[in-house]
Structure 1
Amino acid sequence: MKTLNSPFAAGSDLADRERRPADARSEAQPPPTEQRRRNQTDDSPEQTGGETGPQTAAPSGLKPLIGRHPVASAIVAMLIAVAIAGGIVWWLHARNYESSDDAFIDTRTVLISPQVSGAITSVNVTDNQVVKAGDLLATIDQRDYKAAVDQAAAQIRQAQASIADIEAQIGAQQAQIQQANQQVQEAQAAYNFSVEENQRYQELVQKGAGTVQRAQQAESDFRSKKAALDAANAAKLAADRQVDVLRAKAEQAKAQLQAAQAQKEQADANLQRTQLRAPTDGRIAKLTGAVGALASPGQAIMVLVPLDVWVTANFKETQLELMRVGQPVDIHIDAYDKSYPGHVNSIQAGSGTAFSLLPAENATGNYVKVVQRIPVKITFDQPPDVELGPGMSVVPTVTVRP
């Protein structure tokens, strides 16, 4: 059944015809992203024998890369294996050693200072000169000290003369004591005779056979002899006491002699101290003394650096786990670029800061843990054949695992 065409139907058919080509075009045209991917694929075709055609993208990853470069891959693998093996060998070797660049040559320097005061009359050494023990280094004016020695010697002679004089007096007094003993004996004999004679005359008077006058004379003689005996005993006692006095004076003179001898020894020592001599083998450093300068006790005029030196190495406390006394050490001296064998002599009982002028006080304020360093004394097995001085830098390497 046919329907009549109307203006509205004709317009609708015309619009449908116009939409169909547009829809077809939109369906035939791909999205922009897919179009670009297709264009990139079309722009990079593989050329094989001059023919082109649609190709797929190359696979990505490590395996295809190794497959395309087998030789280079093998070389890289070998280098990595060698590096790992070398690192393991180095670690196995390095763990047997402990080293520190915080190390230096050390020794106990001697300050050469006079023990007496005076003007310096001579300086017998110069800077950096090598000296032996006992060598004369400098001399101080000796005139005052020689006079003191002579004065002490005179006092000794005076004390010795006093002792001799007192000993002579004691000898003379001993003779007087012997004389007093003789006098006592004579007085004793006379006294005994007078006692008997007085007793006899007194008996005669009582019997009427003797006179009273003769009895009185006998009694008077008895009293006289008794007084003489007492006087002789007193003289003997005084002579004995005088000997004691002289002996006390002799002891005093001996004490004076000892004091004079001590002064002489002190004067001799002071005279010897005017000559400054080297206490040990070493080299002269920091020479400040000059002829004519006034030297005072305790004032250093030069420094003597002994030839006996060692190494003080400040290791970290974490490096001391396997370090022991006696372990071998390779000592590299920076100044000469040479190494010398040595061994660990001792390890200080405490860190360096514990013995510093101002030790750390960790009980107050905030605390930050810091790895401490422990001084380790290392000595040379043989004296080095180069000149070494305190403060020179070295690098010791301790073998902690044989």
Structure 2
Amino acid sequence: MESSSKKIPRNKLPALLLVLLAVVVLLVVIWRLDSAPATNDAYASADTIDVVPEVSGRIVELAVSDNQQVKQGDLLFRIDPRTYEMNLAKAEASLAALDKQIMLTQRSVDAQKYGADSVQATVAKARAAAKQASDTLRRTEPLLKEGFVSAEDVDRARTAQRAAAADLNAVLLQAQQAASAVSGIDALVAQRVAVEADIALTKLHLEMATVRAPFDGRVVALKTSIGQFASAMRPLFTLIDTRHWYVIANFRETELKNIHTGTPATIRLMSDSGKTFAGKVDSVGYGVLPDDGGLVLGGLPRVSRSINWVRVAQRFPVKIMVDKPDAEMFRIGASAVATLEPQ
């Protein structure tokens, strides 16, 4: 009796096993891509600053060359300090002269303050004498017509009144001079504060004439030399902050659901794909311009889509901090491959 089901020929089993194996491998790859997204649309990057002098002058010393590695505190360049040194010497001389003037004025004020009480007493005495002389003259003048006093008596009274008034004016002027001396030294003290501020500013300018590396980094885009006049706030070159390197990896939006801050990552640079670097996701981009390619506009990065005639998933930049970067391998813009290990 024949069996209702046909047996698979032995010669077809290997082919069937290969098909099953291919399906299993495909499922594993799909699972792997979903659970451990990877992209070769990535590049290395680091923070940079424009190195700009804060004072103007001619460069007299240039201690670095293009693409040179520097340490924090290393001399980068020095601007001719002579102008600022002369300004400092001039300001310090002005301060010394002002201190002498203040000292002499203070002595005068102290002397006048010492006799201030006697000056006030003299003023009071002179006022009383002037009033008495005026009263005497006022009483004497009417008596001349009555014949009770002579013209000579009236002249003596008038002379005494004028002398008393002159004495009063003299002591009042003396008191006014004492007050003026006090206000004069106040003005000198205020002027001294201004000169001290000028000295502090000149010292700061002199310090700014020497420019040092603010952090460990690498000099790039150096296009200047000794003798070049450097203008304040105009960059001379760029300094890459080599203390911290990161990779900007563009992942499809369908892969972002499993990508979070702290997600472990493995980085490979195309310059040496056999070497790997560990890292962690620092942040996930929340905005890109959907247009194809081009410059950064409106503060948002442009990430081009790989196919124009098919609706493909948008890519978003993911910033991955590298734990222990190789300073000699990492360069800004270097091509990289990033693989994430979501947990």
1:107-118 to 2 correspondence within 5 Å?
A: 107-118=46-57
**Alpha-carbon distance in 1 for matches of 2:189, 2:311:** 70
Query: Residues 200-228 of structure 1, C-alpha deviation per residue, up to 9 Å, x if partnerless?
Result: xxxxxxxxxxxx77xx98xx88x959984
Deviation at 1:303, TM superposition (A): 2.2
**Structure 1 residues 139 and 313, CA gap change in structure 2 (3 angstroms):** same
**Alpha-carbon distance in 1 for matches of 2:176, 2:238:** 64
**Alpha-carbon distance in 2 for matches of 1:77, 1:370:** 34
The residue identity in structure 2 corresponding to 1:301 is L
Q: Larger RCO: Structure 1 or Structure 2 (Cα < 8 Å, ≥ 6 residues apart)?
A: 2
Deviation at 1:258, TM superposition (A): 2.1
**Alpha-carbon distance in 1 for matches of 2:88, 2:229:** 22
What is the aligned length?
317
Aligned with 1:349 (options 280, 286, 290): 286
SS in 2 for 1:378: strand
Deviation at 1:273, TM superposition (A): 2.0
SS in 1 for 2:77: strand
1:103 aligns with 2:32: no
**Alpha-carbon distance in 2 for matches of 1:350, 1:158:** 63
**Alpha-carbon distance in 2 for matches of 1:264, 1:333:** 53
Query: Residues 372-400 of structure 1, C-alpha deviation per residue, up to 9 Å, x if partnerless?
Result: 33222211233446541211111111223
For the 8 Å contact 2:126–2:171, the answer to whether it is kept is: no
For the 8 Å contact 2:123–2:172, the answer to whether it is kept is: no
Q: Identify the residue that residue 275 of structure 1 maps to in structure 2.
A: 210
1:318 aligns with 2:251: no
The residue identity in structure 1 corresponding to 2:46 is T
Q: Identify the residue that residue 246 of structure 1 maps to in structure 2.
A: 181
Deviation at 1:329, TM superposition (A): 0.9
Q: Percent identity?
A: 28
1:392 aligns with 2:328: no
**Alpha-carbon distance in 2 for matches of 1:353, 1:147:** 58
**Structure 1 residues 88 and 72, CA gap change in structure 2 (3 angstroms):** same
Q: Identify the residue that residue 137 of structure 1 maps to in structure 2.
A: 76
**Alpha-carbon distance in 1 for matches of 2:337, 2:248:** 10
**Structure 1 residues 138 and 317, CA gap change in structure 2 (3 angstroms):** same
Q: Identify the residue that residue 57 of structure 1 maps to in structure 2.
A: none
1:252-331 to 2 correspondence within 5 Å?
A: 252-307=187-242, 308-331=244-267
Deviation at 1:165, TM superposition (A): 3.1
The residue identity in structure 1 corresponding to 2:333 is G
Q: Identify the residue that residue 140 of structure 2 maps to in structure 1.
A: none
Aligned with 1:89 (options 17, 28, 32): 28
1:159-238 to 2 correspondence within 5 Å?
A: 159-184=98-123, 228=164, 237-238=172-173
Higher relative strand content: 2
**Structure 1 residues 193 and 239, CA gap change in structure 2 (3 angstroms):** closer
For the 8 Å contact 2:120–2:175, the answer to whether it is kept is: no
For the 8 Å contact 1:176–1:239, the answer to whether it is kept is: no
Higher relative helix content: 1
The residue identity in structure 2 corresponding to 1:378 is I
Aligned with 1:379 (options 321, 325, 342): 321
**Structure 1 residues 371 and 252, CA gap change in structure 2 (3 angstroms):** farther
Deviation at 1:160, TM superposition (A): 2.4
Q: Identify the residue that residue 35 of structure 1 maps to in structure 2.
A: none
1:118-133 to 2 correspondence within 5 Å?
A: 118-133=57-72
